Amino acid sequence: MDLSSDIINYEQPLNERIRIYLKLEHLFKQIAGCAAIPSVWGSRSALFGVLDTLNILARNDLKTDVLKELERQSKNLSRLESNPDVDTSQLADILDRLDILIDRIHSLRGQIAQELRDNELLNSIRQRMTIPGGTCDFDLPGFNFWLKQSDAARTHDLLSWYESFDLMRAAIDIILMLVRRSAQPVTVQAIEGFYQQSLDSRFPQQMIRVTTPSDLQCFPEISGGKHRFTVRFMTGGMNERPSQIKDDVDFQLTCCVL
């Protein structure tokens, strides 16, 4: 979910690749945002984001998958170079960025952020994260010692670890940027809070985006697959089960196909 001052963007991935990319994007934001908080709890949250990111990047096929996606995007965009309606300067800039990332990933040996996997402190915390309350001070004295360092020292370490993800972060950023810009939003209406639309399976469906005003007193639940998707607008307090509203809702819909 993307939140700005006057609108909220809700995103639903339609394949496992985009699902993973959105998770990584979320974790990168978590690390950067929490690392900037000068407190022990901010450092904890940032570090847990680092470890969650490492767990996702541990997939053996992820680097290859990202590389193939960058090459696919580059190939698709290259076909637009002769289109007179395209901003050739902007297109050339994006193609250059894609080529640089492709070359850097091609030249990368081993796993991304391998140096973090060899870090003893991070490994000790990682092993305890799956245990409820497993990162208490008495269980991880080394972690406790690190947390007792100055805010500046912890932030330095966190930003250093964050930099290990720079290549993957740049790749994910440009892929998701291209996916989000691949279609224009249209205004549609959910009748009594329900909307359904078929998808053309001949084209690679990537993501559904639902945009609503931030003051709308309901939220969309989006579900979808290869052939169709549905949007249900729900309401309900924090302590009650959400239910579909009975009113019609106008919203902005973007079907990202690239």
pTM confidence score: 0.91
Question: Residue 60: is its pLDDT beyond 80?
Answer: no
Bridge partners, residue 191, by sequence = 194
Interval 13-30: pLDDT, tens: 999 999 999 999 999 999
Q: Decide: residue 208, CB within 10 A, 0-12 exposed, 13-18 middle, 19+ buried.
A: buried
Q: Decide: residue 199, CB within 10 A, 0-12 exposed, 13-18 middle, 19+ buried.
A: middle
Percent of the chain at pLDDT exceeding 90 = 76
Structural domains of the chain sorted by starting position, each given as residue range(s) with its CATH number in brackets: 15-178 (1.10.3900.10), 183-257 (2.60.440.10)
Q: What is the mean pLDDT of residues 114-127?
A: 93
Q: What is the mean pLDDT of residues 53-60?
A: 88
In this structure, what token pair is assigned to residue 223?
A: 């579900």
Interval 152-202: pLDDT, tens: 999 999 999 999 999 999 999 999 999 999 899 999 999 999 999 999 878
**Rounded CA separation 258/56 (Å):** 24
What is the per-residue pLDDT for 201?
Answer: 78
Q: Which residue, 57, 15, 52, is CA-closest to 126? A: 52
Q: Which residue, 235, 230, 258, is CA-closest to 245? A: 235
Interval 217-233: pLDDT, tens: 999 999 988 889 999 99
Q: Spell out the alpha helix ranges (H) of 108-258.
A: 114-117, 120-128, 141-147, 151-163, 166-180
In this structure, what token pair is assigned to residue 127?
A: 């092993």
Interval 205-220: pLDDT, tens: 899 999 999 999 999 9
The b-or-e profile of 164-190 (16+ CB within 10 A means b, else e) is bbebbbebbbbbbebbbebbeeeeeeb
Contact criterion met (CB below 8 Å) for 194 and 250: no
